């Protein structure tokens, strides 16, 4: 058994060891150093990427936002900070931080300018611990890929996953609209991503045993490390608190939904509305019923059952009274339900009619080739008497190497006497124009 475990450990070490693919340490450090500086081309690329991301947020286009994240060079100085901390290069940390500050200011100013001209309605600004984890594991993937020869598309993937550009654009929107909660929330999300990409880079550098610079002043070394750890702590704590409240709220909403779904099943009573207030200290559940009223004993029983769903000390408010004695109110609610049902069916019918219209157009385009031959034949007989038979069709051609498919129009022609190449080209061009297609392939029988 011990031999098997030992072999398994050796096997794991072999398949997880990236040393065979690793770049020279000097090349990796130099590549990260080059990506730190923001001036000239890098700065203009960042500005254009900010405009693109802002447009993506404004038009709610995921593809545009992803494109902006791929273009943006923001990862450079962030990984530079992590590398500097990992190898004790204080000058590199200062240089990377200074360039990150420049990049951040230009990004926020660019997006602010954009949103002053074209405001956005809403954006995500509440960071959670999940953003911390995404940034951390993204940073780990980034430093491992940067230090190996097989970089592949890891860095662009990290840029997309960690989403550095959209929070900066949202911060710009917050400034443009005067909404400081948007600005601080989005900027905090950007800070989380930046800090934990840097932390992951530092950890990766330490695990791969990069050569460290020696601090001449030990007090300065301790001070740098204290600052770094303080930033990590101050960045992470609020996100943990926000996540805790988010998970707590989600659990409460789930338990409330289960309670209403499982317990409010009565033969002649229907739940027409429900409201779950999740904010403390005013948490409560409100349920509106239509039909036969439930008794006080049943209500007491429902409140007792709430304990089984983890709904302790949560008020239950039940609205009813739409029974037989209140016919007018019952009719109003019934009419409201019928109106909702009518609108849903109306939308469904409109969607089906649109689909039928599209299918009808497709069918007509296929049927066209069944009749077009009969329409063209009399003209062919007069203009090109040497043509004995003609068949016109449309097919889908698939390219085997690229898997690309295109539409091909074919005319199969039998000539009574052979035409010259020039005459055949004229006939093909005339036939293509006559049936209204750009490209026509002529096949002679």
The C-alpha angle with vertex 142 and arms to 141 and 143, in degrees rounded to 5, equals 100
Q: pTM for the complete prediction?
A: 0.48
The strands making up 284-291's β-sheet, listed across from edge to edge, are 269-277, 284-291, 316-319
Closest CA to 201 of 43, 29, 26, 37: 29
**Residue 342: pLDDT above 80?**
no
pLDDT per position as a tens digit, 71-106: 677 778 888 888 888 887 778 888 888 888 888 898
| 3-class secondary structure, 436 | coil
pLDDT band for position 323 (cuts 50, 70, 90): very low
pLDDT band for position 214 (cuts 50, 70, 90): low
Q: Which of residues 141 and 184 earns the better pLDDT score?
A: 184
pLDDT band for position 21 (cuts 50, 70, 90): low
The DSSP result for 74-132, as a single string, is THHHHHHHHHHHHTT-HHHHHHHHHHHHHHHHHHHHHHHHHHHHS--S-------HHHH
pLDDT of 27 reads 76
């Amino acid at each position: 058994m011990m031999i098997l475990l030992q072999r398994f450990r050796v096997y794991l070490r072999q398949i997880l060891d990236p040393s065979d693919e690793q770049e020279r340490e000097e090349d990796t450090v130099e590549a990260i150093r080059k990506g730190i500086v923001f001036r000239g081309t890098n700065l203009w690329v960042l500005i254009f990427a900010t405009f693109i991301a802002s447009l993506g947020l404004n038009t709610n286009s995921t593809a545009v936002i992803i494109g902006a994240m791929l273009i943006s060079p923001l990862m450079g100085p962030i990984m530079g900070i992590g590398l500097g901390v990992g190898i004790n290069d204080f000058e590199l940390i200062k240089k990377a931080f200074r360039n990150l500050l420049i990049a951040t200011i230009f990004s926020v100013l660019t997006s602010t300018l954009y949103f002053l001209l074209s405001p956005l309605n809403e954006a995500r600004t509440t960071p959670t611990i999940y953003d911390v984890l995404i940034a951390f594991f993204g940073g780990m993937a980034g430093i491992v890929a940067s230090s190996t020869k097989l970089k592949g598309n890891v860095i662009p993937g990290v840029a997309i996953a960690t989403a550095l550009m959209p929070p900066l654009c949202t911060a710009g929107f917050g400034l443009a609209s005067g909404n400081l909660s948007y600005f601080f929330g989005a900027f905090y999300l950007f800070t989380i991503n930046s800090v934990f990409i840097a932390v992951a880079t530092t950890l990766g550098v330490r695990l791969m045993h990069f050569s460290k610079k020696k601090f001449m002043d030990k007090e300065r070394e301790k001070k740098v490390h204290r600052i770094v750890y303080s930033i990590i702590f101050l960045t992470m704590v609020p996100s943990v608190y926000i996540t805790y409240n988010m998970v707590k709220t989600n659990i409460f909403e789930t338990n409330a939904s289960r309670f209403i779904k499982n317990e409010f099943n009565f033969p002649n009573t229907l739940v027409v509305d429900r409201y779950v207030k999740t904010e403390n200290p005013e948490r409560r559940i409100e349920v509106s019923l239509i039909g036969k009223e439930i008794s006080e004993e049943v209500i007491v029983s429902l409140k007792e059952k709430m304990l089984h769903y983890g709904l302790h000390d949560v008020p239950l408010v039940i609205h009813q009274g739409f029974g037989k004695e209140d016919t007018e109110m019952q009719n109003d609610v019934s009419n409201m339900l019928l109106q909702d049902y009518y609108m849903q069916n109306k939308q469904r019918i409109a969607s089906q009619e649109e689909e039928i219209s599209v299918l009808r157009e497709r069918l007509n385009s296929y049927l066209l080739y069944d009749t077009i031959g009969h329409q063209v034949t009399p003209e062919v007989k007069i203009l090109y008497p040497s043509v004995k038979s003609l068949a016109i069709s449309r097919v889908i051609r698939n390219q085997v190497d690229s898997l690309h498919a295109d539409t091909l129009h074919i005319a199969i022609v039998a000539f009574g006497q052979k035409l010259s190449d020039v005459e055949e080209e004229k006939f093909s061009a005339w036939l293509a124009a006559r049936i209204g297609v750009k490209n026509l392939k002529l096949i002679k029988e």
